[in-house]
Every structure is written in structure tokens, then in C-alpha cells.
Amino acid sequence: MIKKLLILIILAVASSLFFLTLNKKNKLKIRIIETTDVHGSIFPYDFIKNEKTDHSLANVYTYVKEQRKNSDLETILLDNGDILQGQPVVYYSNFEATDREHICAQVMNFMQYDAGTVGNHDIEAGHPVYDKLSKEFNFPWLAANAINTKTGNPYFTPYTIIERQGVKIAVLGLITPAIPNWLPENIWSGIEFEDMIVTSKKWIKIIKEKEQPDIIIGLFHSGIDYTYDNSTAETYKNENATQLVPKNVDGFDVVFGGHDHQKYNFTVKSPDGSDVLIMDPRSYARCMAVVDIELSWNEEKNAWDKKISGQIIDTDTIIPDKSFINKFSDFFEETKKYVNREIGTFTKTIASKDALFGDSEFADLIHTIQLKISKAEISFTAPLSYDSEIKKGNIYVRDMFNLYRYENLLYTMRLSGKEVKNYLEYSVNLWFNRMQNKNDHLLKLKENKEGNLHLASAYYNFSSAAGINYVVDLKAPEGERVRILKLSSGKEFDMNKEYLVAVNSYRGNGGGGHLIKGAGIPKDELSERVVHSTDKDLRYYMIKWIEEQKTITPSCDHNWTLIPETWYQKAKVKDMNLLFPEN
């Protein structure tokens, strides 16, 4: 009896192995769909502008469902981070509706994502948010180079294995290691961010030896341009190392990038000469990266032959999925009610575009609020959007996402007069061209690959000051362009005196380089300069301040000017038409 039972077991195992081998040697097509930098674009609706949009995860889901119906395809769905910041729907779930499952967990579990990578703006939401969400996801949230300082192991899952018809697909997740340059330590406490290339070499070896996968995918929340902010290919902990990893580490078949909100579809050579496809589908669920991997079994090699191709698909022509919309309609309406709460009245319209060309009512409103909250003597701020507008009339919670785009804390820091001056010199050099005549461009511009002119630096690094009166000389050489006249209170400005300065946490932690490269403060000394930090994000306090004031009359105090003014005025009109042709 025992003999017969053993024979039956052996036959069953042999039969299973035969059919598994037969199946494995059939041709197989795998389609990988990837989203990145969704920034809360869950619904086809802009809660900030209070209007419908033509892009969202609901649109993506329509496409995903259609692919899953195709019996000739094996479909995999991935996300590459930065979903927890942007639209008020995620802000509401992050900080207001905290007593239930996060909307991102509800939606992405419903869509049946197979894996995701953590983004820097996901970390920005804070430990209570991302720790909770990591547990709520039905899929692994990856970041091999985010290391738990207590255990020495990855804080999140380093990689995952996805199997389709006997084919093993390894997905390695990495996050940009530059997070400590932007975010206060309490937000990422207990985590150390390692270099992406170093981490990849370590984990590729582990994955190959332990898992022996057929395909290896890189899911990297990091940009393409490794020269950004004067970095090089050799820069340790490069913020944008997405293409550097496959150029330095063998084994990847496909690498998905993100973080920089750009569209990419190209190949690079790995050290062994293999082609690696790199894809990036921009942001806000406007696009999807779709990669097809056609497999055919090679008997001689005893391995798969792979044919890999990719395309970027726009979502604006795809109809949002009705079942998606219906399932989450209650949370949608709840969010609309939250953002449409009236908090005050503005007596005039303000626009962030004005802040690109000099002192403005838009920037001065932020300065005013920062000085009131912090009790500081000087304030630094920059436009966090180049095209935001808050119209005259009733002001709602949603308008605060136009006024202040990111969830920054507000720091009060100690800076000397000289450091304040050097901070501004650094900002001006990023911002304004040295004009030799009235026909020169006011703003510092550069050409892209297509020959079009764009800002040479990010507009959110164009930092102005309040609390001091100063002029910027457009003709003067670098380092000699800012002349501080006095404190706005009328008191003398002293280069050697120490002042209390209000600045957001991104800048206060070294973001943009204003304090480190400009003011010359060593990175490890920045935290010692912080006298006070708010416990909630600046937008929260802005809402409270406006509710207290009830009626706001935005004004520009003209505490700083550009000279010569006649040149500036002519150049301003020219550059407005250049950079914003829709006007």
C-alpha cells in the first residue's frame, strides 16, 4: 500500500514538472504598466481649481482593466512614488481623515497594484502617514536604500518577486537619497538614505543568488539628469541617479524613473554591453509607461530570449472607469466639502507669475504670514508655482494649495547679516541674468534639446526677502548684485549682527543650496541654527491666520527693487510672452 502511494506521488510530481517545463518553454508576453509622481491625481478632478480634468488613476484603471482581459498578456501594474502630496484629496486623507484606511491604500488595492516604490514626497507626509500606509497596502512598498538605523536593514521592503506562468520578475525599489537635504530629521527619523549605485550592486547580487529571476526591473524614484545642481556622475548620493545605476550595474532589463516629472523612453548600455530600457511617464497620471517583454525559450542557452519595447501612453483620451468613480464617490464628495469651506475674503486677485519678475503681492502675502507666525525679523520665500492665481472674492481651503503648494514646516533660524546678504546673492544669481542692455533677457534662461528657452533654474529657488529694504543691480557682476539698505522697520542693517529669519523647512534643511552654498553654512550646522519649528505644515497656519483676519487686502510693500527699472520693465514684458505663450 505504501509502495503504491509512493509511486502515485512520484508520478504526480513528475507530471507537474513536465507541465511546468512545457509551460515555461512556451512563448510568453508580459506587459508592465507603470505610473509615477501621481501627486494625488486619483480622480479626474482638480480639487484646487474646482474643475474636471482629463487625467487620473481612474483613467489609468480603464486601460489596466482592458489589458487584464487579454488572455495573450500577463499584466503587471507598478507605481513609482510621490502619491501622497499634491491634490487636497491626499492631504485630507493624510492629516484630517486619519481614522480610516488611507484613500491611496483603498484605491491602489482596488486597482491591484503589484508593487510600488516610496517617493520623497511620501516621506514628506511624516512617519504617522507613511508607516500606516505601508501596512495598509496589499502590495510591497519598496525602497532598498532607505535603511533602518536601528537594525541596519531596509526600513521598507527592498525588492519583490512577481511570478507569471513560471517566469520570475524581480522588482528592486530605490528612493532618491537626497531627502535629508530637504526635509527635517523628525520626518525621516530612524532612516538613513544610501547611495543608489552602492545599494544596487549589493541587492542585485542578493537577488541573482537567492531568487535567480528571469527578468529584473528597477523601480527608482529618482530623476534622469545626474548633472542637476552641479552634480556629476561621480557625485555620491546623487539625487538623480536613475540612468547611472544601469550604466554601472549589470543585470537590469528595464528601469523606471520618476521624481523629475519628465517623459523619457530610451536605452543605455550596462557594463556588460546589454541594452537597458529607461522609461519615465511624467506626472499627475497624465501618462503611463507601458513596457512589453516578449519571451521565447532558448533551449541551447536554457534561458529566455527577451524582446523589450516601451511606449508612453497619454491618459487624456481614455474614459475614466465608472466602477472606480462609483466605489470612491463618498470620499470624493467628502473631499469636495472639505476644500470648499470658506475661510476668508481677498479684496484683489494675486498671481504667482508676478513673483518671477520682482516684488509682488503674491510673495508678500506669504512673507506677511511667515513673519506673523514666527515673530522673526526677516523672511525668505519663493513662488512654489509659476502659474497659480487666487482670485478676488471669497477664499476657500482649496485656494491655500495655490498659495502654498507643499507641506513645509516653518523654521525660525539664526543668520548673520552677512549670511542674509550672501543668501540673496545666491538666489539672484540663479534667477536674474546679468543684463548689459535693455534687450537682454531679465530671467536667466537656457536652451533645451529642442532649442526652446526655459528657466535655467527652478522657479521655487527664486527666493526674495521681507523685513529688509534692498536693491538688485541687474548690471553688477555675480556676488555684488544685492545692496541691503536697512531693515524695513527703519533700523540699520548690520552685516555682523545676528537676525531671526523665517524660512520653510525645505530651505532650512539645505534645499536649493541657499544656506549651504550661498550663506556658507555647513550642512551639519543647519539644525543648530533652528530656534523654532512649527509642529504642523505652514499651509495649516496660513488657513488659521486668514480665518482670523477674515478680510485680506493683498499688498506689495516694494521693499526691494530691480535697477535700472526701465530695462527691467521692457525685459519683463518680453520674458512673460516667451515663458507663458498662452497669455
**Count of C-beta atoms within a 10 Å radius of residue 153:** 8
| Cα 46-222-52 angle, rounded to 5 deg | 10
Is the pLDDT score of 9 beyond 50?
Answer: no
Residue 326: the pLDDT is 98
Asked whether residue 201 falls in the same domain as residue 253, the answer is yes
List the domain range (segments joined by +) for residue 519. 342-579
- Measured CA to CA, the distance from residue 201 to residue 353 in angstroms comes to 44
Nearest 10 degrees: CA dihedral of 276, 289, 103, 114? -50
Task: For residue 578, name the pLDDT band (cuts at 50, 70, 90).
Answer: low
State which amino acid sits at residue 214: D
Report the pLDDT value the prediction gives residue 350, as an integer from 0 to 100: 95
Residue 474 lies in a domain: yes
pLDDT at 18 over 50: no
In degrees and rounded to multiples of 5, residue 163 shows phi and psi of -110, 135
Residue 287 domain-assigned (yes or no): yes
330 and 384 share one domain = no
Per-residue DSSP letter, 259: S
- DSSP assignment string, 52-96: E-S-SHHHHHHHHHHHHH-TT-EEEEEE-S--SSSSHHHHHHHHT
pLDDT at 452 over 80: no
Question: Strand 115-117 vs strand 141-142: parallel, antiparallel, or unpaired?
Answer: parallel
Q: Rounded distance, CA 288 to CA 301, Å?
A: 34
Assigned domain for 8 exists = no
Residue 252 falls within a domain, yes or no? yes
Contact between 494 and 417 under an 8 Å Cβ cutoff? The reply is yes
pLDDT at 261 over 50: yes
Rg (the chain; Cα; Å)? 26
Asked if residue 379 and residue 316 are part of one domain, the reply reads no
**283, 317, 335 - which closes a domain:** 335
Instruction: Give yes or no: residues 367 and 475 share one domain.
Output: yes
pLDDT digits 0-9 by tens, 491-536: 999 999 999 999 999 999 999 999 999 999 999 999 999 999 998 8
Return the residue matching grid coordinates 465608472.
322
* pLDDT for residue 3: 53
Quick one: pLDDT at residue 11?
Answer: 47
Q: How far is the CA of 463 from the CAs of 121, 367, 513, in angstroms?
A: 21, 11, 11
Q: Which residue has the higher pLDDT, 3 or 262?
A: 262
The whole-number average pLDDT for the span 277-283 is 97
* The C-alpha cell that represents 79 in the structure block: 507605481
Query: Could you please report the per-residue DSSP string of 471-517?
Result: EEETTSPTTS-EEEEEETTSPPP-TTSEEEEEEEHHHHTTGGGIIII
Please check whether residues 537 and 565 belong to one and the same domain.
yes
- Is position 1 within any domain? no
Contact residues for 580 (Cβ-Cβ < 8 A; gap 6+): 353, 386, 387
Does the pLDDT value for residue 433 go beyond 90?
yes
Give the Cβ contact number of residue 408 at 10 Å.
Answer: 24
Residues 355, 241 within the same domain: no
Q: What share of the chain is helix, strand, coil (3-state, %, to 5)?
A: 35, 25, 40
Average pLDDT over residues 43-67: 97
Nearest to 122 by CA among 187, 52, 51, 169: 187
Contacts of 254 (CB under 8 A, 6+ apart): 32, 215, 217, 218, 276, 277, 278, 279, 291, 293, 308, 310
pLDDT at 579: 60
pLDDT attached to residue 451? 74
Cα separation of 243 and 227, whole Å?
11
Same domain for 301 and 218, yes or no, is yes
Q: How far apart are CA 266 and CA 285, in angstroms?
A: 20
Which residue carries 482581459 as its cell? 69
Q: Which residues pair with 290 in a beta bridge?
A: 33, 311
Q: What is the pLDDT of residue 439?
A: 85
Burial of 285 (0-12, 13-18, 19+ CB in 10 A): buried
Instruction: Quote the distance between the C-alpha of residue 507 and its chain's center.
Output: 16
The gap between the terminal CA atoms of the chain, to the nearest Å, is: 88
* Residue 117: pLDDT over 90: yes
Among 13-27, 64-78, 98-112, 269-283, which is the least confidently predicted range?
13-27
Reduced to 3 states (helix: H, G, I; strand: E, B; else coil), residue 388 is coil
Which residues are CB-contacts of 245 (< 8 A; sequence separation ≥ 6)? 174, 196, 197, 200, 218, 220, 252, 255
512/427 Cα distance (integer angstroms): 9
- Are 226 and 365 found together in one domain? no
311, 335, 359: which is the final residue of a domain?
A: 335
CATH number for the domain that contains residue 300? 3.60.21.10
Residue 9 lies in a domain: no
d(CA 305, CA 288): 26
**Same-domain pairing of 372 and 274:** no
Q: Specify the CATH number for the domain of residue 438.
A: 3.90.780.10
State the average pLDDT for the chain. Answer: 92
Least confident piece of the model among 204-218, 481-495, 536-550: 536-550
- If asked whether residues 303 and 358 sit together in one domain, one would say no
> Averaged over 281-305, what is the pLDDT?
95
Task: Specify if 19 maps to a domain.
Answer: no
Position 400 in a domain? yes
- Co-location of 180 and 48 in the same domain: yes
CA–chain centroid gap for 489, Å, is 38
pLDDT at 577: 63
pTM: 0.86
283, 305, 335: which is the final residue of a domain? 335
Q: How many structural domains is the chain composed of?
A: 2
Nearest residue to 171 (alpha-carbon basis) of 159, 157, 153? 159
d(CA 531, CA 320): 48
pLDDT of residue 576: 64
Share of the chain above pLDDT 70, in %: 94
- The answer on 147 and 95 residing in a single domain is yes
SS3 533: strand
Q: Side chain identity at 422, as an amino acid letter?
A: N
